Structure 1
Amino acid sequence: MKNNKSKISLGFTDQTFEQGVHICQIYNSEEDRQDILFDFLVTGLENGENVTCFSENETEISLSDFLKEKGISYQQAKSSDILSLYKTGDIYFVDGKFDPDKMLKLLQDFYEESLRKNRKGARVLGEMTPKIDHIPGGSRLLEYESKVSLLLRKFPVTTVCQYDSRQFDGATIMDILKVHPYMIVRGAVVQNPFFIQPEVYLSQQNNHF
């Protein structure tokens, strides 16, 4: 399979990264959430990438308004199937449960679809909701995030995962950081000192259970 890990812009920072980077944003305001989301998605479109967003809070109206300011038609991008927006629950909680294997397959399919369309890459922004604590399979969230890091080595979807620090407790936030190699700090992307390589993390979890 062709696997072109070219350096790309993320939109919200002057830094460039190889495609397939797995980034965590812990935000505490709607402004922080939207700033990253909008810049990340718009830059993907400008780069010629396939772009999708799973968001609990974003709407087609707000995204359309922002894209219009950048000279991009939301409806045209949507109808051309190069941009899609879904509610978090419609993607992560199909049939009322969380299935990491199905989510990983979805990411792989999204990347392969971008190749078939001759797009220059693929990027996903996924916003998690605290509802996952009450969803069957929700206890596998950290397993899923760790396996995403493994998947992206072969299928380099550029990925930002958003978590609201006001809705997740401190212990959960620390666990989330363990499964993301990069994090956003004051608008910059930094290597996450809390990150545990997926092979090690998943082995630890298997031994624990």
Structure 2
Amino acid sequence: MPPEFPSAREPVTFAGGVLDPYRHVCAFVDAPWVDPVFDPFIADGVERGDRLLYLVDPATSAAPVNRLRRLGFDAGALLEDHRAEVRTWTETYLRGGSFDQAAMLDVLDEVLVAQRSPRIRMLCDMGWAAGRADLDALIEFEARANFIHAQHDHLVICSYEATKFDGAFVVDILRTHPMVLIGGMLQENPFFIPPSEFLDERDARAVS
């Protein structure tokens, strides 16, 4: 029998920090799902009765499930009970063959705002964006996603491999996440800019 769901506002720890009140994290890691920094966060979620939602590369869709097994959980039962779910980039970020930020914001709204319980721990492999020409759209999306994240108590971690992106992109991505994981430690992000201010700044830059 699964444990009782926690209070929607019960704080959660990740990598030595507390994910409350900010629950939108930019994580710079060498490899999503393989980095052991995620293991306690995932195990804690299962034990508390939270729901795990992975957004992954179709080529590595089995990796989160295998990781759950290595952590000692019955991955098949978690999937069957909808306490763990794996969605691929082609079902989410790249649905329709390309990135449409409006469509992906709708996905977040549907998945996170419309589903209040149990609490979701959403882990997003952002590797699909590496080498793409439309990164401005992704930066704007990450900023606008904060408006959605302010409406729920779920936990969202966006994992980037910094070596696959240029410095200007990394700086802007930092400015769109209130929490950041660097060097295996979570901290409140000093570079974060509230989304309205960030988007106004970008609009002003575009017309100047």
Do 1:127 and 1:162's aligned partners in 2 also have CA atoms closer than 8 Å?
yes
Equivalent residues in 2 for 1:28-177 (5 A)? 29-30=30-31, 34-56=35-57, 58-60=60-62, 62-112=63-113, 114-115=115-116, 118-119=117-118, 121-129=119-127, 131=129, 133-134=131-132, 138-177=135-174
Which residue of structure 2 aligns with residue 4 of structure 1?
A: 8
Using the TM superposition, give the Cα deviation of residue 14 of structure 1 relative to its aligned residue in structure 2, in angstroms. 3.8
Shift in CA distance, 101/41, structure 1 to aligned 2, threshold 3 Å: farther
Shift in CA distance, 113/151, structure 1 to aligned 2, threshold 3 Å: closer
Shift in CA distance, 102/39, structure 1 to aligned 2, threshold 3 Å: farther
Structure (1 or 2) with the greater helix fraction? 1
Using the TM superposition, give the Cα deviation of residue 131 of structure 1 relative to its aligned residue in structure 2, in angstroms. 4.2
Aligned length: 199
Query: How many Å separate the matches in 1 of 2:16 and 2:187?
Result: 12
- What's the Cα RMSD here? 2.6
Query: How many Å separate the matches in 2 of 1:86 and 1:129?
Result: 14
Post-superposition Cα deviations, 1:8-32, rounded to whole Å, max 9, x if no partner, equal: 233xx243322651111122x2388
Shift in CA distance, 65/133, structure 1 to aligned 2, threshold 3 Å: closer
Shift in CA distance, 63/31, structure 1 to aligned 2, threshold 3 Å: closer
SS at match of 2:150: helix
Shift in CA distance, 30/132, structure 1 to aligned 2, threshold 3 Å: closer
Shift in CA distance, 30/167, structure 1 to aligned 2, threshold 3 Å: same
For residue 187 of structure 1, the aligned residue among 184, 188, 203 is 184
Shift in CA distance, 207/33, structure 1 to aligned 2, threshold 3 Å: farther
Percent of aligned positions that are identical = 20
Using the TM superposition, give the Cα deviation of residue 44 of structure 1 relative to its aligned residue in structure 2, in angstroms. 1.9
Which aligned runs of 4 or more in structure 1 are off by greater than 6 angstroms? none
Do 2:26 and 2:158's aligned partners in 1 also have CA atoms closer than 8 Å?
yes
Post-superposition Cα deviations, 1:26-48, rounded to whole Å, max 9, x if no partner, equal: 22x23885323444333222221
Corresponding position: 1:200 with 2:202? no
Provide structure 1 residue ranges, at least 5 long, that are not aligned to the other structure. Answer: none
Shift in CA distance, 84/16, structure 1 to aligned 2, threshold 3 Å: same
Query: How many Å separate the matches in 2 of 1:204 and 1:178?
Result: 12
SS at match of 1:94: coil
Shift in CA distance, 5/102, structure 1 to aligned 2, threshold 3 Å: farther
**TM superposition score normalised by structure 1:** 0.82
Provide structure 2 residue ranges, at least 5 long, that are not aligned to the other structure. Answer: 1-6
Do 2:89 and 2:95's aligned partners in 1 also have CA atoms closer than 8 Å?
no
**TM superposition score normalised by structure 2:** 0.82
- Partner amino acid for 2:26? C
